[in-house]
Structure 1
């Protein structure tokens, strides 16, 4: 019998990436009449994949990637900012990511998964220093073995390439057929994991992260509460000490 495996994306999956972004926006620019912080953040996410792929291909240095992403996002909202302002904003945003934390609900879910003996992993696109800093800040090694935390820059391949999911399954010691991946980006997370034979849970925060998927996710959730209910459902009713904190019937959405 194969062991159940569950792996997660980091950004906008294990924690809400919009929180430090909104704070950085306020600290750097103050009130922005007529500009929606939510739409600006969504535009930032849409430009991440494009700039990250250019950076991986050697077309952009890391600072240029960050600046280009912010300049493009602000331009979509009718705002013109300078290169210096974009870089300053990115520095504040990056520093605030050193203060991120898991919600009590997410911590309880990870406790239950560990208590149930599930094999846990992380698959994240991004620069090694940035992503491992988030791992430390969030305290993820309390639940995830370091070798089961797979960061794209470390391994030389990025989502949605199925090879990064193959690596994760190997490190977690699980079979893809009994493994689930939870992520917010439809193309990177859903398409990539499904291509590797995993089942998928799309954490759709309604932000349009990345490109649309070509495959349907097995399940779709829109909040941490729904995610907790779905994942605990995979384990059965008596899955751990926090099992009483469930969502109402019907929280699971077929994608």
Structure 2
């Protein structure tokens, strides 16, 4: 049993992917009369990038929208940033279960003015002894330094810690570089797209509990 379990936030504890799709749909909807075209444009937007709005003009232009429409869509998206954002149904239960047997913490990439309101909305800050937001500490995953910072805060060695995250780019290689075991949460059920695979692969947080020998 690890002494420290560190969690990612987006697409690990909360469903950022679904929220992103809902926000893009809300942003694009006024500029489409055809539901099929709207659905295709939303899918293209979220497939091309799970963050940001810089690709909105190019996508909307394909469907006859002008630069003014693209700017209006961007404004609608930014003003509605947290539409549909919710914790996964097993997130709170998992956090409470692992807290009974190990220390916990969170490391999340992103701007502080986006990630902190997200944490506040989800009402989870009080559950974690510490939360490291990349912009706030000046280090971004997969830099192992942010993982080392978390280990130092917890006072626990890397070999006694695991990191749970969804990103094959930021989470798994970063944790491994820091000397921790990595747990890849693969909600989409895709094949591992990276180089060195994770130590453990799970489909949801209930499987994390099972991998730790805890009852879901």
Q: Structure 2 length as normaliser, TM-score?
A: 0.81
Q: Determine the structure 2 residue equivalent to 1:68.
A: 54
Aligned 1:26-65 pairs, distance under 5 A = 26-30=25-29, 31-33=35-37, 35=40, 37-38=42-43, 40-45=45-50, 48=51
| Aligned-partner Cα distance in 2 for 1:184–1:80 | 36
Matches within 5 A, 1:116-155: 116=101, 118-145=102-129, 148-155=130-137
**Structure 1 residues 129 and 213, CA gap change in structure 2 (3 angstroms):** same
Matched with 1:185 is 167
Normalising by structure 1, what TM-score? Answer: 0.70
Cα contact 1:190–1:213 (8 A) shared by 2: no
Change (3 A) 1:38 1:119: farther
Matched, 1:229 2:207: yes
In structure 2, what is the Cα distance between the partners aligned to 1:17 and 1:107?
16
Task: Determine whether 1:220 maps to 2:201.
Answer: yes
1:201 touches 1:221 (CA, 8 Å); kept in 2?
yes
Is contact 2:24-2:77 (8 Å) kept?
no
Query: Once the 2 structures are TM-superposed, how far is the Cα of residue 93 of structure 1 from its aligned partner?
Result: 4.2
What is the number of residues matched between the two proteins? 206
Q: Deviations over 1:132-190 (max 9, x none)?
A: 11111112223202xx2111111111011110110011112221111111111101101
**5+ unaligned residues in a row in structure 2: which ranges?**
30-34
Note the alpha carbon deviations across 1:14-60, whole angstroms, 9 max, x for none.
11112222222332333343617455323222xx4xxxxxxxxxxxx
Counterparts of 1:68 and 1:102 in 2: how far apart (Å)? 27
Change (3 A) 1:38 1:181: farther
What are the ranges of 5 or more consecutive residues in structure 1 without an aligned counterpart? Answer: 49-65, 238-242, 246-255
Query: Where does residue 62 of structure 1 map in the other structure?
Result: none
Kept after mapping to 1: 8 A contact 2:106/2:128: yes
Conserved 8 A contact 1:44-1:70: no
SS at match of 1:110: helix
Measured in 1, the distance between the counterparts of 2:64 and 2:96 equals 45
- Distance between the aligned counterparts of 1:80 and 1:163, measured in 2? 46
Distance 1:109 1:126, change over 3 A: same
- Of 153, 156, 159 in structure 2, the residue corresponding to residue 171 of structure 1 is 153
Measured against aligned partners, the alpha-carbon deviations of 1:189-227 in whole angstroms (never above 9, x if no partner) come to 01111000011111123398xxx53321011123x2xx3
